[in-house]
Structure 1
């Protein structure tokens, strides 16, 4: 049997906090509480254990070890208490997958209409995988894909299918 194009694994131990705010006003407060600089549009910042991703002009996603989620959420809510802002634990609403290996990009190209090869090393792209909304960013050795947990089984299935040897799906 031929080897898969990439290793697909579901991540279970990450917490995620959605942050909605006027980033020009609240950026310093968010950076202080999150411990990471606010990323530029379409980018991420990381310290190796945490990732802060730009999702839209007024939205960031903080990804961190699950055990740190409650304390980080409290720090963000405190830091943003004087702003019109929202910090919400969305860990249980999301499914996260790692796509690892030399052909990880090829697997994603089969499913996503976006040109992920043009994404910078610290890039984050909102797109879709088949018909499912998702966010994708690079990490050493591959990519991370985050989508809604309600379609997690579907995401696992299409990622696994796209990584299977001999699949003749044309890149989109």
Structure 2
């Protein structure tokens, strides 16, 4: 059996910001009535983090939860634990209407970091990347040029991004182009 690999083999670019493909990440889509405590307990129980509010993420490292829609969460767990975690979620939600799906191998994960990270993304997305509108812990589904992505603010100067694996090369190239040396106007530096 072949070993799983990331879409781009850990590709990295450094310019006015660093763009890097992250290692394999376990990701589970959990859809259902988010106001029901069973959904909350299933997600927080396996991720080990608090339930995020709308347009937020909690943890968003190897373990975390991202609010994706009024009826959808994205649960982050270590890649090798996805099968066991799905079984745990399904057991917790037995008899309850919910959808649980492993989307780990269908996604690519990137990190954009450095003092110009927000500026790099602001060139490519209609979402407001200002620190006031998108503080640490924020999470948004949006577009990057012409493809759907989810972006979250990890902290000052670091943003995470998920896209479909099928467009990983395109997304990396967009980010690297926007992060070219000399491509900064310093728009967000005063408020960073």
| TM over 0.5, shorter chain | yes
* Secondary structure of 2:49 counterpart: coil
For residue 72 of structure 1, what is the aligned residue in structure 2?
Answer: 85
Q: In the aligned structure 1, how far is the partner of 2:122 from the partner of 2:61?
A: 26
Quote the Cα distance in structure 2 between the aligned partners of 1:145 and 1:87: 21
Give the superposition deviation at 1:32.
Answer: 2.3
Partner of 2:171: 155
Shift of 1:47: 7.7
Which secondary structure does the structure 2 equivalent of 1:116 belong to?
coil
CA–CA separation in structure 1 for the residues paired with 2:168 and 2:129:
21
Other-structure match for 2:139: 124
Match of 1:134 among 149, 155, 158: 149
Structure with greater helix share of residues: 1
Equivalent position of 2:64 in the other structure: 51
1:12 aligns with 2:62: no
Instruction: Indicate the larger mover: 38-47 or 57-66.
Output: 38-47
Give structure 2 stretches of 5+ with no counterpart: 1-13, 188-192
Task: Tell whether 2:124 aligns with 1:111.
Answer: yes
Provide the aligned C-alpha RMSD in A: 2.0
- TM-score (norm. length: structure 2): 0.81
2-structure distance, mates of 1:150, 1:48: 22
The unaligned stretches of length 5 or more in structure 1 are none
Find the aligned partners of 1:139 and 1:43 in 2 and give their Cα distance.
11
Helix, strand or coil at the partner of 2:123: helix
